[in-house]
Chains A and B, each alone.
Chain A
């Protein structure tokens, strides 16, 4: 770990208490992708309901985890916040302003403050650019630092912060390992001095020993630069380790939202419960004594999601009403929200 990142870490609290300022407020977000038929006069025949009426808040300084399986809408939610998708409906309020209504000019300012780290360190770096140029590019584009010498200085500083030697600035991505590339992706995200970073499966492609290095780096940077993270991942063990609060998504819906420890120790939604059950724990003794309740069936199509509660066809606790009534997110305990009528 580099010296630049000092040991400024503070003892982390077990809950999100202490995070009060709302940074991002997502209200009734919907993102439908049309499926069209016909070549010359395309006609919308169906819609993929990737995100269906999702609301949550992200507090300044916290790390909010978004978990769920493929196709649950977690990445699409992230892309909507980044304004890489224009949502079908809903508001994304960033620092008091609805950025879905912003013009592309107004968005430029917002984009300096919201950055993203992608999953695949192989495809998210331009193979024809040197690492130093990759990191310098956003500062150049946004005219943050116009002097090339100063820019170079900052590139070396950022590399160092991310645990890479200065010599890497003159290398190409293919000369680096996966973990090193991911560090470059992180350095690039930091180049703009952002306050909010969306990490979309940022450590999923890495081997365990390298993954731990990058997780520690992300935590150090969070403390050093007062960053807020939205941590999108399917790996529940990593999420438990790094996140203050966790939201669980299923088929475009947010089904549960709570403080990390509360969610993992006291899951209330039947889906969350089964999801946690499916994750194997690296300890044979623990595994021997765990109930292995397996979730039945597969995720239904988001084109034609089930009526009522979208989880009812696979839910062990479903009753008649679940096929008709759409459950709303309710606060069962302070800070613990669940969308299930049977809780």
Chain B
């Protein structure tokens, strides 16, 4: 049984401008110990999916209106707030984008790091301190004893993100959700942090959902990839399938629009024309249709469902055979 199984999740925001279907029927699974990436652009619903798993969607205006999230044998959506609180931060850890805002500026590192261990694991203050020192050492922070009494502003951005990772690992979670964990960091620090996360999750056997817009980060670190567009997963599969045999026009367009550092200057990038759709004005058809060069009349009638092509590689596109004919292989 998968560690996490999301089925037909629907999260909506009820705003004065209309109902925003931020997540519209998303399903995916995460097996124990694996790293799954969720890729997409702003507004594709990747973060809202993560917040839904944590049950952190603010009401009003947001609400999970349908679906189920099975985690370790129980449906997170049917739990009471108290029961959910005992899972959040304990069985599921979370790493946010901004290390500046996800730490409390007026509490010491030590207090923030030991608090979840004292409340979730019933450790004494002394035991929690010992464990905190061990954790800080593990995430590569020098002089961990001294750091316990320091405040977040004493640390650099990269160091703060290391503290956030230590916090996420504090209660020996089964799953870590990392939402754009390195977007705010410089590229050399990003490499340090991602390498650290990869080693720790592998050594400790923790599963990870990594949410990012950076296709390079996904290629380097993820086992499986879910590509999201306008609140839905439109393609899913092994990283090598997604990158070399994309079977959805959006994935293909996305891959063609990123410049690559290992290639000589080519004549021009091949961007996706147009803008992402307004999520309050989606119709019954495929939401990528207006920007899609494979679009046909029947694409307007109904939304294509995710269908398996081969070994777990799925695509939600009526024209995927046509696309496959035209695009044999994206040359690596």
A282 to B257, CA, bound (A): 11
Provide the residues of chain A in CB contact with B221, threshold 8 Å.
280
B255 within 8 A of A: yes
**Contact of A104 with B by CB under 8 A:** no
CA distance A219 to B55 in the complex (A): 45
CA distance A211 to B263 in the complex (A): 18
The segment out of B3-11, B89-97, B264-272, B297-305 that lies at the interface is B264-272
B191, A282: Cβ atoms closer than 8 Å: no
Determine whether the beta carbon of B186 is less than 8 Å from that of A69: yes
Q: Does A175 contact B (CB under 8 A)?
A: no
Q: Which of A209, A234, A261 contacts B257 (CB 8 A)?
A: A209
Q: Choose among A70, A241, A280, A294 the residue that contacts B265 (Cβ–Cβ < 8 A).
A: A241
Contact yes or no, A209 B219, CB < 8 A: no
Q: Which label, helix, strand, loop or mixed, suits the secondary structure of the A interface? A: helix
Residues in B neighbouring A11, C-beta threshold 8 A: 267
Cβ–Cβ < 8 Å partners of B265 in chain A: 12, 14, 240-242, 260-261
Closest chain B residue to A177, Cβ basis: B275
Q: How far is the CB of B226 from chain A (nearest CB, A)?
A: 15
Tell me if B268 and A286 are in contact (CB < 8 A). no
Residues of B near A5 (CB, < 8 A) are none
Q: How far is the CB of B243 from chain A (nearest CB, A)?
A: 5
How long is the Cα–Cα vector from A215 to B256 in the complex, in angstroms?
13
Interface residue A208 (Cβ < 8 Å from any Cβ of B): yes
For residue B158, CB closer than 8 A to chain A, the reply is yes
For residue B240, CB closer than 8 A to chain A, the reply is: yes
CB closest chain-B residue, reference A207: B41
For the complex, is B1 an interface residue (Cβ under 8 Å from A)?
Answer: no
Instruction: Tell me if A281 and B267 are in contact (CB < 8 A).
Output: no
Which A residues lie within 8 Å of B271 (CB)?
Answer: 209-213, 215-216
Cβ of A165 < 8 Å from any Cβ of B?
Answer: no
* Any A CB within 8 A of the CB of B215: yes
For A285, what are the chain B residues with a Cβ–Cβ distance below 8 Å? 240, 243-244, 332
Q: How many residues on the B side are at the interface (Cβ–Cβ under 8 A)?
A: 50
The answer to whether B42 touches A207, judged by C-beta atoms less than 8 angstroms apart, is: yes
Q: Which of B223-278 contact A (CB under 8 A)?
A: 239-240, 243-244, 253-255, 257-273, 275-276
Q: Any chain A CB within 8 A of the CB of B159?
A: yes
Q: Which residues of A contact B269 (CB under 8 A)?
A: 212, 215-216, 241
Across the interface, A240 reaches (CB within 8 A) one of B217, B254, B263, namely B263
Q: Would you call A194 an interface residue if the criterion is a C-beta within 8 Å of the partner chain's C-beta atoms?
A: no
B159: A residues at CB distance < 8 A: 298
Residue A122 lies at the interface, judged by CB distance under 8 Å to chain B: no
Contact with A along B280-305 (1 / 0, CB 8 A): 00000000000000000000000000
Residues 182-207 of A at the B interface (beta carbon under 8 Å) = 207
Is the beta-carbon distance between A284 and B239 smaller than 8 angstroms?
A: yes
Q: Does B214 contact A (CB under 8 A)?
A: yes
| Residues in A neighbouring B218, C-beta threshold 8 A | 282
Q: Does A110 contact B (CB under 8 A)?
A: no
Q: Which residues of B sit under 8 angstroms from A260, Cβ to Cβ?
A: 265
Contact with B along A139-182 (1 / 0, CB 8 A): 00000000000000000000000000000000000000101100
A294-B197 Cα distance, complex, nearest whole Å: 14
Question: Closest chain B residue to A180 by CB distance?
Answer: B275
**Cβ-based interface call for A283 (8 A):** yes
Q: How far is the CA of A294 from the CA of B158 in the complex (A)?
A: 14
CB distance from A259 to the nearest CB of B (A): 11
Nearest CB in chain B: distance from A165 CB, A: 13
B270 touches A212 (CB 8 A): yes
Rounded to whole angstroms, the CA-CA distance of A284 and B217 in the bound complex is: 10
Partner of B332, one of A215, A264, A286, A299: A286
Contact A286 B244 (CB under 8 A): no
Whole-angstrom distance between the Cβ of B59 and the nearest chain A Cβ: 26
Measured CB to CB, the closest approach of chain B to A55, in angstroms, equals 25
**Distance between Cα atoms of A230 and B156 in the complex (Å):** 29
A101 beta carbon closer than 8 Å to chain B:
no
**Complex: how many Å from CA A213 to CA B275?**
11
CB distance from A243 to the nearest CB of B (A): 8
Contact B189 A298 (CB under 8 A): yes
Whose C-beta in chain B lies nearest to the C-beta of A179? B275
When distances are taken between beta carbons in the complex, the residues of chain A under 8 Å from B258 are 208, 212, 237, 282
Min CB distance, A167 to chain B, in Å?
Answer: 15
Determine if B272 and A280 form an interchain contact, defined as CB atoms under 8 angstroms apart: no
Q: Do A69 and B188 have beta carbons less than 8 Å apart?
A: yes
Whether A238 sits at the interface, judged by CB under 8 Å, is yes
Known contacts A237-B259, A237-B261: A298-B219 contact under CB 8 Å: no
Distance, CA A260 to CA B269, complexed state (A): 17
Q: Which chain A residues border B273 with CB–CB below 8 Å?
A: 213
Q: Is B192 in the interface zone, CB < 8 Å from A? A: yes
Residues on B with C-beta less than 8 A from A292 are 191, 195, 220
Contact between A284 and B275, CB atoms less than 8 A apart: no
User: Is B187 located at the chain interface by the 8 A CB criterion?
Assistant: yes
Contacts of A52-109 to chain B: CB distance below 8 A? 69-70
With the chains together, A278 CA to B194 CA distance in Å?
A: 10
The A204-246 residues at the B interface (CB cut-off 8 A) are: 207-213, 215-216, 219, 234, 236-238, 240-242
- Extra inter-chain contacts (16) besides given A207-B42, A207-B276, A281-B262, CB under 8 Å: A70-B186, A208-B215, A208-B257, A208-B258, A234-B187, A237-B260, A240-B265, A241-B259, A264-B261, A278-B187, A280-B191, A281-B220, A282-B255, A283-B219, A292-B195, A294-B192
- Sampled A-B contacts (10; CB under 8 Å): A207-B42, A208-B215, A210-B41, A242-B265, A261-B265, A280-B214, A280-B216, A281-B219, A285-B244, A298-B189
Closest 5 pairs (CB-CB, A-B): A280-B216, A212-B271, A241-B259, A212-B257, A282-B215
A residues near B, CB below 8 A? 9, 11-12, 14, 69-70, 177, 179-180, 207-213, 215-216, 219, 234, 236-238, 240-242, 260-261, 264, 274-287, 292, 294-295, 298-299
